[in-house]
Amino acid sequence: MCGRTACTLAPDEVSRACSYRSRGGQRRQPRWRDGDADKYRPSYNKSPQSTSPVLLSQRHFDKDAPVDECVLASMRWGLVPAWFKEDDPRKMQYSTSNCRSENILEKKSYKSPLNKGQRCVILADGFYEWRREEKSKQPFFIYFPQTPSGSSQEKTEDQDDLATSAQSKETSERACSAEGGAFDSTEEGEAPCEWTGWRLLTMAGLFDCWTPPGGGEALYTYSVITVNASPNLQSIHDRMPAVLDGEEEVRRWLDFGEVKSPDALKLLQTKNSLTFHPVSSLVNNSRNNSAECLQPVDPGCKKPAVRG
């Protein structure tokens, strides 16, 4: 399962971190959907019902948009089906924060969005998972290994990089945004700067749009798709998010026009491409939101679950 994540980049950094190539090979940085950058709040400790950055095709909002154009949106975690008839989404009687890949075609809540091509990619620094022990649970932070090239093909000792990044967000590279290149490269001959910061975890998801029966603002929500855990994570938990590893997998998952559902579902595979480290029990309480939540700890050194 996936019940807690962290996403600590600023809105402009998220845009730079998930740049992509168009079908013509042009490097682009996705824009935020109107007003959504203001709805997103960076956090070291996101739980269901919170808002997260999600990458999806612009075609979902503009039918005339190029098929390969992506956009960033802020969506609430926990899918509310379009057909939900209550006047308050909090009245849902079951959890939709996760969707098992094996059950997508069996559950109405997920089958309908899938058939409509409502596929998205949830972005995060990583996610938390708890390993059951004799008298307690040990939390871990799980993420893509960080390498100079941004590739996850080789493991590296990156825990120190994570701690440094978490403690000093203000020192993150901001050269591109300072020079006006923080968004997509539609200027002729201009390409966005390469992102060399934290490689975001890209998780496959489904989204839906619910409107209150009596009218009102539309609510966009999502569910993280899960698969069986990879061999290196099985000692922590038996499930993990369906990770999309690399730009091509992300592109294929989002391109609902070219890649139909049966082929897209083949991307939902268990991948042994993540690394992890133990973190403080501080993360157990979702009200705790500081860099300390995701810093490596000695499992034998217990931290208080709540800080005053």
CA angle 42, 43, 48 (to 5 degrees): 110
Just list the catalytic residues. Answer: 2, 129
